[in-house]
Structure 1
């Protein structure tokens, strides 16, 4: 194969690859971070449930830690919350604001949960760089299960009684 033919073939491959890349849209889910729109709580047989309602987008990865105190993301300040023990939950990617910085969650940043047996209070402890942080104050240290559901997106936190 001659150098001229190789160059022509390479140029053709580059043009075709560029054309394909130009018409292939980036998926909306890859661009969109799910935003929290609500927090719901409920008592179930054997466990209390806290649900974070999220807008469309990729389901976030979730994790939790049993902690001695809840810390606000960004400031590092202690978040004072009713409870004997504390559970810190994070969801990534997730936020509590839209692209313009406006809050997407209209509810209180902290509230008591008088209708639950173990979970005493819930607080939004962080909304920073695609990570949403929630803190729970609980009466007793019991098993915790955290998972996501889709259609619609939700983060579910179950705390045994």
Structure 2
């Protein structure tokens, strides 16, 4: 009886090992990471009480966005000062996000810096960084006022509202 029990347990263990191996073999070797959203456009507009800057992004995980009021704008990677029209400056970062594709080609066809002639507070916008999954944008503004930064999805966007 003990021999039959040992054989049964041995057979059960062998079957279990074979099934586990089959399950592991059937699992994919690696799961592709979700694509980082890439910037395709920058839009600006004047609204009642605030100027709005919108970064248009492709599909992918919605980035987290934040801002800092800074004395000067610094280029990511190089650490050099980014000269931009404005009395005060707002540095905005979005992560994960980029302005290039996997091959390094730019996905944003517009200028890296431009003036915003029709807005009341935002004077200029610059792409200040596209480095290691973080997209950085700088705004030059006339006056230091309240800033709100948030993200929207379907499609992905980073929205920057600057009070007048």
CA distance in 2 between partners of 1:145 and 1:131 (Å): 19
TM-score norm. by structure 1 comes to 0.90
* Paired residues, number: 157
2:16 match? 9
* Runs of 4 or more above 2 Å deviation: 1-8
Counterpart among 46, 51, 54 of residue 51 in structure 1? 54
1:100 match? 103
Cα deviation for residue 14 of structure 1 reads 3.2
Counterpart among 118, 135, 140 of residue 137 in structure 1? 140
Deviations 1:82-138 (A, max 9, x none): 111111001111111111111111111001111111111100000011110000011
Cα deviation for residue 26 of structure 1 reads 4.1
What does 1:118-157 align with in structure 2 at a 5 Å threshold?
118-157=121-160
CA distance in 1 between partners of 2:113 and 2:20 (Å): 57
Larger radius of gyration: 2
Task: Extract unaligned runs of 5+ from structure 1.
Answer: none
